[in-house]
Amino acid sequence: MNHSETKSNTFTVTTPLYYVNDLPHIGSAYTTMAADALARFERLRGKSVLLITGTDEHGQKIQRAAEDKGMEPQVYSDKISAGFEALWQKLDIQHDRFIRTTDLRHQAIVNEFFKRVWDNGDIYLGQQKGWYCVSCEEFKEERDLLSDHYCPLHPNKQVEWRDEENYFFALSKYQNQLEALYKERPDFIQPESRRNEVLSFVAQGLQDFSISRVNVDWGFPVPVAPNHTLYVWFDALLGYVSALLDPDQEPTLENALKTWWPIKLHLIGKDILRFHAVYWPAMLMSAQLPVTDRVFGHGFLTKDGQKMGKSLGNTLDPVELVNRYGADAIRYYFLKEIEFGRDGDFNETRFVDIVNADLANDLGNLLNRTLGMVHKYCGGEVPNVKSAEIPDDNPLKAIGLELRQRTAKAYESLAFSEVAREIFTLVRACNKFIDDQAPWSLYKQKQTAELEQVLYAVLESARLAAYLLSPIIPSISTDIYQQLGFSINFNETLSRDCEMYTTHAAWGILPAHQKLKLPKPVFVRLEQA
């Protein structure tokens, strides 16, 4: 990044760092697709964006998963971590950083951070007694468990009793500061329902939590007591900081925090809200560092009402889904169909119906039939119409003029379903407009001016829809843009250019006489496997 650039133009967003106990499932892909759509939107409008993702590789859960496969944990982590990166590629995720918590540079950051917290007097030795869920890597209150000590999030896994010496982090010291943070920054935790959950959890009184283990080898040694390893969550959250280092930078906190800190947004699932909205800000306060701007906890993808998960084994294989249906269809379905923040069930029939209806019929056919008509009636180039000549109450122009603002608001609040709803209102209006205006009759009656205006308005609306949908369906948007005669590819790194956004996100910019390509379907109808 250019150093003269101000931090207000930077946008740092993170996905969780995924456990490598197993290959990614569609639940892990979900957060990453959302983060990517948002990052693409911010890049589109000229921000300097850093999208961070990666893998969380230490701890007992991973150690056991590797043992079960008869592999060394590092070898096992290498293999699974590569699976995540490969999936991100298939899903057209444009991440800027992929951090692995077994990276030695990360260890340097963890040690320096630990020292700060230690020097602040917030770490002490104590006795940890309680029920531990290895799948959650979290102690559980007995009252929260299912019968026979099964974990509510992993109903096929029993929690284990622990009674051991651990180092503790003095979370309780930060009760007042955390409460003040939530009060002063009501947007810190979103959506509102999650914020309320955190407020009521904190109001019950915070307890210190243990940050070391004596029975787990697979982790960084505690700097002051090498017979302990660091608790995986203490190490993992700091992955967000290590990820900020440039590849050739010396791994110090100062270097890591210089350009991109504080992070604008942690995107996470609701199961790990407490770590991000309570433990993490307190750790940062202890190290005297500014807290992240915003934490958004989305819902679960469920199968038959239960959280899909690697531990439960009721997951969908995203690689298989992408191979079968393509990245855009998957991205579109999950971002459009499930209101971001709520739980949502995946149903393959519904998936096929929705993407066929929206992407093949409404959007794809619109482009196809319009280009067909322009080739037939207007010599295959954008009709010579100035948008100012089209009255503001033209049904497409009226929607188009407001679309940029409406979609920006929806993207900013992570309301991806809303983004799609807004844009498809225009797309559907286009199809209706064509039916109402019947360009074929205008042609026959030689009403050329009217015909050209109708076709211009529709082409321009299809262009705008494609542009604003590009963070969600980049390949389809690229196809549409190229058929409309532009050379832009939304899957390549676009030069950051606010002017381009100002122009392209507005209605009425399609240049007259621009040569159009022959129509080719941008989305081939899916058949359910």
Nearer CB in complex with ligand MSP: 53/453: 53
Cβ at position 299, least distance to ligand MSP in Å: 7
Nearer CB in complex with ligand MSP: 232/468: 232
Among 56, 103, 122, 337, binds ligand MSP (CB under 6 A): 56
Q: Half-sphere exposure of 240 toward its Cβ, with a 13 Å CA cutoff?
A: 23
Is residue 60 involved in binding ligand MSP (CB under 6 A)? no
x/- contact string, 302-341, with ligand MSP (CB under 6 A)? -----xxx--------------------------------
- What residue is closest to ligand MSP based on CB? 269
User: Contact, 181 vs 188, CB < 8 A?
Assistant: yes
- Residue at 470: amino acid letter: S
Nearer CB in complex with ligand MSP: 151/522: 151
Binding residues for ligand MSP restricted to 237-256, rule: CB under 6 A: 237, 239
Is residue 296 involved in binding ligand MSP (CB under 6 A)? no
Cβ at position 470, least distance to ligand MSP in Å: 24
Segment near ligand MSP (CB under 6 A); pick from 89-97, 119-127, 267-275, 415-423 = 267-275
Is residue 168 involved in binding ligand MSP (CB under 6 A)? no
Within a 10 A sphere around the Cβ of 391, how many other Cβ atoms?
9
Cβ at position 44, least distance to ligand MSP in Å: 25
Burial of 332 per CB tally in 10 Å (0-12, 13-18, 19+): buried
Number of residues that bind ligand MSP (CB under 6 A): 21
Cβ at position 237, least distance to ligand MSP in Å: 5
Residues constituting the chain: 529
Nearer CB in complex with ligand MSP: 237/454: 237
Q: Could you identify the residue written with the tokens 């009709």? A: 383
Is residue 28 involved in binding ligand MSP (CB under 6 A)? yes
Q: Could you identify the residue written with the tokens 């995986």? A: 232
Helix or strand or coil: residue 221? strand
Cβ at position 486, least distance to ligand MSP in Å: 35
Is residue 19 involved in binding ligand MSP (CB under 6 A)? yes
Cβ at position 271, least distance to ligand MSP in Å: 5
Helix or strand or coil: residue 49? strand
Cβ at position 307, least distance to ligand MSP in Å: 5
Q: DSSP labels for 279-346? A: IHHHHHHHTT-PPPS-EEEE--EEETTEE--TTTT----HHHHHHHH-HHHHHHHHHHHS-BTB-EE-
Is residue 95 involved in binding ligand MSP (CB under 6 A)? no
Cβ at position 482, least distance to ligand MSP in Å: 34
Is residue 236 involved in binding ligand MSP (CB under 6 A)? yes
Is residue 269 involved in binding ligand MSP (CB under 6 A)? yes
Q: How far apart are CA 36 and CA 49, in angstroms?
A: 11
Sign, CA torsion 329/460/368/425: positive
195 Ramachandran zone, left/alpha/beta (phi>0; psi -120 to 50): alpha
Is residue 52 involved in binding ligand MSP (CB under 6 A)? no
CA angle 380, 385, 391 (to 5 degrees): 135
Is residue 27 involved in binding ligand MSP (CB under 6 A)? yes
Q: Half-sphere exposure of 179 toward its Cβ, with a 13 Å CA cutoff?
A: 11
Eight-class DSSP state of 161? E
Report the interface residues with ligand MSP, using CB under 6 A.
Answer: 16-19, 27-28, 30-31, 56, 236-237, 239, 268-269, 271-272, 300-301, 307-309
